[in-house]
Structure 1
């Protein structure tokens, strides 16, 4: 083991960088797979509802999409927070400790500066809102149009609609503009 004097602030910051980049990478993989899980879950719910000719089952769509969408959103926010921390805290501290004439971790800034970033982020927001908000909202509309449910399921559907509206607001708040 190294002597305590061999542990420098820059070594600790580089070790922190390695760990948070690993966390960011794991979160990116998990977040991206959530979209596939959502697609499979939505397809399953719709197929079961259509096969059984039971529109009450469409009430599962908002629940599935709220749980998976919130998990997606939280992971996406943490991914962005890690990048922001590297750009605003970790990189500048390491640059200050080094003799580097240019900022350290330039990729963290560079990859965000291409001219297609804004259209790409808008398209991603559209995909996210479609998967996690529009699809279950369409399921709710179909439920309202074709159900024979009693007041309890109507109440559940209204509560789900309110939850979807709240989550839509969260997606818009957290979307990088």
Structure 2
């Protein structure tokens, strides 16, 4: 009976480690996508500005807020899922695995998942990352809107689109700030 229990535990450990590997692979892929989105929004801003200058039609700048919103939302979603995977590993997967192997070892499970949050510079990094993210996804689109508005007068359609884009940018900036985990950055725990 003990051998059968041990075999079941070993299989459970194997399954949990496979889940961990799959989650970390997804996390790595999402990190790659998230990081590339910063380059994508900067490239989009440069391309849209170049086309606008070449065509001499300021209304074309209204494409930039749309690009910033779409790319920014995708960045935010990936960043949120990266965080959720880490949280799941720390709070659910790690404890389940540790409970199975607790008798065999006293080694902490997935220590990196919890230890990295204890860095005393985490707070400043979190604030700087928030500033970079807002600067990349919200500032260029907002600048485009200001340029369009300053150039006035505009048709009602241009004004309506620009106001909707400004509202969507405000929502995006709020969500980016909300998900930045500024409260968690204040507490340094070990």
Which range, TM-score by smaller chain? over 0.9
SS of the residue aligned with 1:115? coil
Could you tell me the TM-score, scaled by structure 1's length? 0.93
1:36 aligns with 2:39: yes
Structure 2: how far apart are the matches of 1:144 and 1:58? 11
1:38/1:131 contact within 8 Å kept: yes
1:163 aligns with 2:177: no
Match of 1:124 among 105, 114, 129: 129
1:176 aligns with 2:181: yes
Match of 2:64 among 61, 64, 73: 61
Residue 143 of structure 1: CA displacement?
A: 0.4
Q: Could you tell which deviates more after superposition, 159-168 or 96-105?
A: 96-105
Structure 1: how far apart are the matches of 2:119 and 2:10? 37
Structure 1: how far apart are the matches of 2:120 and 2:178? 23
Structure 2: how far apart are the matches of 1:143 and 1:171? 25
1:81 aligns with 2:89: no
Equivalent residue number for residue 103 of structure 1: 108
Residue 103 of structure 1: CA displacement?
A: 2.1
Structure 1: how far apart are the matches of 2:49 and 2:82? 31
Could you tell me the TM-score, scaled by structure 2's length? 0.87
Structure 1: segments with no counterpart, 5+ residues? none
2:98/2:108 contact within 8 Å kept: yes
Equivalent residue number for residue 19 of structure 1: 22
Residue 170 of structure 1: CA displacement?
A: 0.8
Residue-pair matches, total = 174
Q: Could you tell which deviates more after superposition, 45-54 or 158-167?
A: 45-54
2:30/2:78 contact within 8 Å kept: yes
RMSD: 1.5
